[in-house]
Amino acid sequence: MTVSSAERSDRAAVLCGVGGVLPRRRVDNAELAARLDTDDAWIRTRTGIRSRHIAAPHEATSDLAVAAGGRALANSGMDRADAVVVATTTPDRTCPATAPLVAARLGLTGVAAFDVGAVCTGFVYALAAGAGLITSGVADRVLVIGADVYSRIVDPDDRQNAVVFGDGAGALVLRAGYADEPGALSAFDLGSDGAHEDMITVAAGGSRLPTDPSRTAHAERHFAMRGKEVFRHALTRMTESARTVLKRSGLTPDDVDRFVPHQANLRILRTVATDLGLPADRCARHVERAGNTGAASIPLALTDDHTHRSLRPGDRVLLTAFGGGLTWGSCLLTWPDLPPAAEPAHHEEESTP
Ligand code: UT7
């Protein structure tokens, strides 16, 4: 790991590459409606989601993370990083962490590599950790990945969650630079409230309730969410966190060119944007095509916005996330001038019914 001394005092983490990947298999609402007690109208009205991508049986979180990380490194024009941080709720295994394997498969054996668990806020936490490694001088280049395969923990017969969640991975590359450069991450807000830890859970499989095939109930092995309550908390926490990070930077919502919130539900995104006073067209809406991809949703939405030129160099970008824990967080940055990135989706599959 490189330790370098900054010549200036305003050393900052600067975004220099993006990338994302969605699994090949695209599942639209009609396919879900054919086997679950649901329909396209309910899913679209309540969530805004039209389709999501589901990993193949052989694909694990690390496979998607490697693909996204490789794309982000290629986009940055660098083939090295000093550290790899992976945000995930669906690690390949309980032990060890997924990040060392991802680093090794990207040819980065020997670098610092660790996972961050903050559920759907994971990517913003991982970004803060990556930025901290850079501003403290511990690393000069950090690969930050958000990757989740929710289809492994969501019960496919649970109509509430099966329609909402999808699989995917997204990544950003950070390099050491200065606070006045385009791409600089300028402020963070992070928070949690563990008193509500039971609102989003996978009950079994940890030290509290180890999985015992003969005694663990079906529901305890799967992802559970108290949707309505989570919805209400998401609105409050995301709006407050966004306001906090703006205030910390001496900015107002008017100064935000692009709002890229965690892609949980289009109704949440629209309401938070409205509460902040942001026009709807400034808000990313990748959720429509990918569902809620957990820790992957913000870097995937950024990659998609960059690919479709909804993000322009110099744009002031606000990221805000909310998830299990409960956890929440925001980050402000200016968009740098990046080369075009590959589309996260595999378009050749999209016309297949
Ligand atoms: O990523 C981390 C953060 N996550 C979030 O922020 C997600 C927050 N929550 C949500 O996005 C929403 O709560 C959901 C999309 C999960 C659910 O939407 P909702 O508008 O809150 O629905 P609800 O739970 O109030 O359910 C309304 C009705 C219920 O029927 P009854 O009791 O009124 O007869 C549900 O059983 O809709 C029913 N329902 C469905 N109907 C058709 C629930 N899921 C479905 C479904 N299709 N897939």
Ligand 1 atom 18 nearest Cα = 46
Q: Is 159 in the pocket of ligand 1 (CB under 6 A)?
A: yes
The predicted-structure confidence for 81-135, as pLDDT tens digits, reads as follows 999 999 999 999 999 999 999 999 999 999 999 999 999 999 999 999 999 999 9
**How confident is residue 347, by pLDDT bands cut at 50, 70 and 90?**
very low
pLDDT at 3 over 50: no
- The residues with which 28 forms a beta bridge, in sequence order, are 51
Ligand 1 atom 39 nearest Cα = 160
Q: Is 186 in the pocket of ligand 1 (CB under 6 A)?
A: no
Q: Is 81 in the pocket of ligand 1 (CB under 6 A)?
A: no
pLDDT at 142 over 70: yes
**How confident is residue 214, by pLDDT bands cut at 50, 70 and 90?**
confident
Q: From ligand 1's centre to the CA of 91, what distance in Å?
A: 26
How high is the pLDDT of residue 9? Answer: 82
Q: Is 38 in the pocket of ligand 1 (CB under 6 A)?
A: yes
Provide long-range contacts, Cβ within 8 A and 24+ apart, for 128-133: 128/188, 128/190, 128/329, 128/331, 129/85, 130/13, 130/83, 130/85, 130/174, 131/12, 131/13, 131/174, 131/185, 131/188, 133/82, 133/83, 133/85
Residues annotated as catalytic are 120, 262, 292
Domains of the chain, start order: 11-183 (3.40.47.10), 186-334 (3.40.47.10)
How high is the pLDDT of residue 324? Answer: 98
pTM for this entry: 0.95
Among 39, 45, 160, which residue has the most ligand 1 atoms within 8 Å of its CB, making it the best to mutate? 160
**How confident is residue 7, by pLDDT bands cut at 50, 70 and 90?**
low
